Amino acid sequence: MRFSEERAALGAAAHRLARAGMTHGTGGNLSVRVDDHVLLTPSGCRLADVTPDQMVAVDLDGTIVEDTPFQPTSELRIHLDVYHHTSAAAVVHAHPIASTAAANVVDELPVVHYTAALIGGAIRVAPYAVFGSRALGDAVAAALTDRTAALMRNHGSVAYGDDLDSACDRIELVDWLAELYLRSAAVAPPATLTDDDIVDVVITATRRQYSPFPGRNP
């Protein structure tokens, strides 16, 4: 079986998101790109239980390239669209409570904390479309323009990165920002940062070699 290292890494990342409470039931899916192939979690799996041998390998058109009894995640279209429209090497999608709640009440999650700079700024909400559809894939790709994460109305969130760790870092950060926004908004309109503030954060973090994730580059 090919892609043994990538299969193991994908399983570990799936278990990480499950431990973090980022989804429930069979919701959520992950993928990693390997040259002209994409390795994905299978349809109908529980992230807490998925194993490396269950991962499904496809080409960039979504055609399965290895014999397997499993089917790729029903959100295959989202993953492929992200790879086609960005420089992503890994994509994660989940159904966290705070992220989903925020996506149902705002069109864009404002910058309520400076770490939103790691996403690219305010987080857009992709309009609702049924899961697995071309419409949803297109909506998510548009919401990710100049961003590394997006929210999905009545659905969840998605993030990508240069590797699985960075993609998981970002989707967890989005949920933390969503929770912060919801708690703030329950009391009063939240204070927000501007685009200039975000640029200043990026410049300062680069100069000081600062990252909120231990062991990671800024």
Active site residue 5: no
Rounded CA gap, 181 and 105, in Å? 11
Which pair of structure tokens corresponds to residue 7? 């299969």
Please provide the size of the chain in residues.
218
Q: Which residue is listed with tokens 């990671």?
A: 216
Nearest to 40 by CA among 132, 110, 169: 132
Residue 159, burial from CB neighbour count under 10 angstroms (0-12, 13-18, 19+): buried
Out of 66, 75, 108, 179, the active site residue is 75
DSSP, residue by residue, 25-83: TT--EEEEEETTEEEEPBTT--TTT--GGG-EEEETT--B-S--S--B-TTHHHHHHHH
Instruction: Give the residue numbers marked as catalytic.
Output: 75
